[in-house]
Amino acid sequence: MDTSHPARQPLTDEQRLQYLIAGISDYAIYMLDPQGYVNSWNAGAQRFKGYVEQEILQQHFSRFYTPEDRASGLPAQALAHALEHGRYESEGWRVRKDGARFWAHVVIDPIYDDAGALLGFAKITRDVTERKLAEDKLRDSEQRFRLLVQGVTDYALYMLTPEGTVSNWNSGAQRIKGYCHDEIVGHHFSRFYTDEDRLSGMPARALTTAGDVGRYEAEGWRVRKDGTRFWANVVIDAIRGEDGRLLGYAKITRDLTEKKAAAEALDKAQAALFQVQKMESIGQLTGGIAHDFNNLLSVISSGLEVLTMRHAGGSDAKTLDSMRRAIDRGANMTQQLLAFARQQPLEPETRNVNRIVSGFESVLRRAANSSIDFVLTLDPKTHNAVIDAARLESAVLNLVVNARDAMPGGGRIEIVTGNVLLSQDQVHGLAAGPWVRLAVSDTGSGMAPETIARAFEPFFTTKEVGKGTGLGLAQVYGFIKQSGGDVVIDSVLGQGTTIAIYLPAVTSNAAHFHDVETETVLIVEDEPDLLDVASSLFMSMGYDVMTAASGTDALGLLASRDVDILFTDVVMPNGMNGVELAAYTRQNYPNIKVMLASGYPQPALRLDRSKLGEFAFVSKPYRLSDLARSLRSAH
pLDDT along the chain (635 residues), means of 10: 55 52 68 92 85 91 93 94 93 92 92 89 88 76 57 73 88 85 90 92 91 89 91 88 86 84 69 55 50 54 57 58 62 52 58 80 80 86 83 83 87 92 82 90 88 70 48 71 84 90 74 48 87 79 82 84 87 81 88 83 55 76 74 73
Is 147 within a domain? no
Q: Considering 255, 290, 318, which residue would you say is the last residue of a domain?
A: 255
Domain coverage including residue 589:
520-633
Domain count for the chain? 5
Secondary structure of residue 100 in the 3-state scheme: coil
Task: State the pLDDT at residue 572.
Answer: 79
CATH number of the CATH domain containing 411: 3.30.565.10
Angle at 513 between CA 509 and CA 514, to 5 degrees: 85
Contact 98, 64 (CB under 8 A): no
557 lies in the same domain as 615 = yes
Cis before 621 (ω within 30): yes
Task: State the pLDDT at residue 342.
Answer: 42
Is 307 within a domain? yes
Distance of CA 247 to the CA centre of its chain: 38
Q: Considering 330, 360, 375, which residue would you say is the last residue of a domain?
A: 330
376 lies in the same domain as 464 = yes
Task: State the pLDDT at residue 440.
Answer: 92
202 lies in the same domain as 288 = no
Is 342 within a domain? no
Q: Which residues contact 500 (CB under 8 A, 6 or more apart)?
A: 437, 438, 439, 487, 488, 490
CATH number of the CATH domain containing 559: 3.40.50.2300
Percentage helix, strand, coil for the chain under 3-state DSSP, each rounded to 5 = 45, 25, 30
Q: CA of 529: how far to CAs of 535, 538, 561, 594, in Å? A: 10, 15, 24, 22
pTM of the model: 0.36
496 lies in the same domain as 361 = yes
CATH number of the CATH domain containing 178: 3.30.450.20
DSSP state letters, 462-513:
-SPTTS--S-HHHHHHHHHHHTT-EEEEEE-TTS-EEEEEEEEEE-SSSTT-
Task: State the pLDDT at residue 604.
Answer: 47
76 lies in the same domain as 178 = no
Contact 47, 32 (CB under 8 A): no
248 lies in the same domain as 315 = no
